[in-house]
A = this chain, B = another copy of it.
Amino acid sequence: MDVQTRAEKAARKLLSGDRASHSFDMRLDTIRPGYAEVSMVVRDDMINGHKTAHGGVVFTLADTAFACACNSHNITNVAANCQISFVRPALLGDRLLARAEEISLGRRSGVYDVRVENGDGKLVALFRGMSMSLDRPLFEEDME
């Protein structure tokens, strides 16, 4: 199986069971080996007490892009550790785009950087995730 097909199948497998991302109306815009773009519009049920997008919502978007990128080689990976810096508030109606990029990949773990931008291309948040491999495939390649 070529690496691009593998990445697409892995993302489809991952997202098909991801009820949380679905309930946030997230959309996978791009998937490549070690790379993913996921977008979402800030709805009124995603607003916090400061009248901006809840930090948890911005994190969830970044985390979903991270999950797609770190599972794209069809080795099951889970998040071990994440860091997020909030740079600019996201507002009601903003379309947020999260781009996750693989910075480093070892046998046991990997590091991924995610930028979340608003519709004007302004930086909303920076996210860095460390993934840990569970040493098993996400889907059986022979059975597909």
Contacts and interface: CB of A to CB of B under 8 A. Distances in A.
Interface of A: 13-23, 44-51, 53-57, 59-61, 63-64, 67, 71, 76, 78-89, 103-104, 106, 108-109, 111, 113, 123, 126, 128, 130, 132
Contact of A87 (B55, B83, B86, B104): B104
A55 B83 contact: no
B109 A80 contact: yes
Given A49-B67, A56-B20, A56-B60, A123 B104 contact: yes
Number of copies: 4
Given A19-B44, A59-B56, A80 B85 contact: yes
B76 A55 contact: no
